[in-house]
Structure 1
Amino acid sequence: MNQEHGRSMIFSSLFNDDFLARPFVRQTVMCPWFYLHAEVREGKEFVGEMLMVSSFDSLKDILEQQHDSFRIRSIHYVTPGFVNKTGQWCMEPLLEASEAINQDGQRIPILTVAGRSYSQLEISTEIDPANVKVLFTHKADGHD
């Protein structure tokens, strides 16, 4: 999905010399991904880290790894224009990430942002609400 470019350079007169020659990641496939703000304990303090996660399964794994020294503060869902129907990339705060089981027993991710929810379009979304497991809920506590 992406390639890390450790030796590539960003050329621009807008940035000072210290900013040049920074590594970057280029996404080569037009698919949704997740941008996570995590906090990791270092000694007595927490430091922020940003994680770019390429799949719902990876997001689930990370959410399950949370503990006293590692926590997810916020998640943004990043979608290309053909997914979000705007014609351009969007980065939207994720309000809730859930997983449902449909009538065929298939697991369906449900991702809720302001004003809409995303799910797998090719799978029937007839879901029994009793079969929905909430994995993440955004907490509006001012730490974003």
Structure 2
Amino acid sequence: MFITYRYAEMSLDPRLEFTPAQLWAAVEQDIQWPWFYVQIARRDGREVVASALLLQHAHDLETIIQSQSKHAWVEQVQIVTPAHLNGHARWLMEPLKEVCLMQDDAGEKGLLFKVENDVRYSLHPQRNLEQLLLIKVLFSAESDLQRR
């Protein structure tokens, strides 16, 4: 989903060359698909340092949530949705309340995203969301976000 190009790679400060990180001046998004902006906090001695991850898949978000500890935790999650999904004329970035794996009567699975004001976005082909069966909650802001 996010594409990088060698010409956009930035050089690290020579004093930091030991780090495995790579810096990019820009990345490209190749598909018009929702993605997640995830703010991570990490304890470094007495300090807490925050950074953000850009994640493509809800299952990656679920993995990050499951790997939280007293040393690293998720503080907030935003979903970034394209116009064709959110019904607006532009991309939107909104606080994510929940991600659910849903299934229809034929067994076809898809994702349902809940944001504020009871707004729901679905990647399931079934348009009548009330007829979908909840299989699993992959993320819930109420129970999964750590407030420290």
* TM-score (norm: length of structure 1): 0.72
1:76-114 per-position Cα deviation (integer Å, ceiling 9, x unaligned): 110111111112111111122333455455554321112
- Structure 2 Cα separation of the partners of residues 109 and 67 of structure 1: 26
Distance change in 2, residues 1:57/1:22 (3 Å) = closer
In structure 1, list runs of 5 or more residues that go unmatched: 10-20
The alpha-carbon deviation at position 123 of structure 1 amounts to 4.1
Q: Percent identity, please.
A: 22
Determine which of 133, 137, 142 is the counterpart of 1:133.
137
Amino acid at match of 1:121: H
Amino acid at match of 2:76: S
- Structure 1 Cα separation of the partners of residues 43 and 36 of structure 2: 22
**Aligned twin of 1:27:** 29
1:104-138 per-position Cα deviation (integer Å, ceiling 9, x unaligned): 55554321112311222314742446x55362215
- Please tell me whether the aligned partners of residues 37 and 53 of structure 2 are also in contact (alpha carbons under 8 angstroms): yes
- Please tell me whether the aligned partners of residues 36 and 53 of structure 1 are also in contact (alpha carbons under 8 angstroms): yes
**Aligned twin of 1:55:** 57
Distance change in 2, residues 1:119/1:29 (3 Å) = same
- Structure 1 Cα separation of the partners of residues 6 and 95 of structure 2: 29
In structure 2, list runs of 5 or more residues that go unmatched: 10-22
Stretch of structure 1 that moved more, 65-74 or 103-112: 103-112
Equivalence map 1:1-144=2 (5 Å):
1-5=1-5, 7-8=7-8, 23-105=25-107, 107-115=109-117, 116-123=119-126, 125=129, 126-128=131-133, 131-133=135-137, 135-138=139-142
- Please tell me whether the aligned partners of residues 40 and 53 of structure 2 are also in contact (alpha carbons under 8 angstroms): yes
- Please tell me whether the aligned partners of residues 101 and 132 of structure 1 are also in contact (alpha carbons under 8 angstroms): no
- Please tell me whether the aligned partners of residues 77 and 91 of structure 1 are also in contact (alpha carbons under 8 angstroms): yes
Secondary structure of the corresponding residue to residue 89 of structure 2: coil
RMSD: 2.9
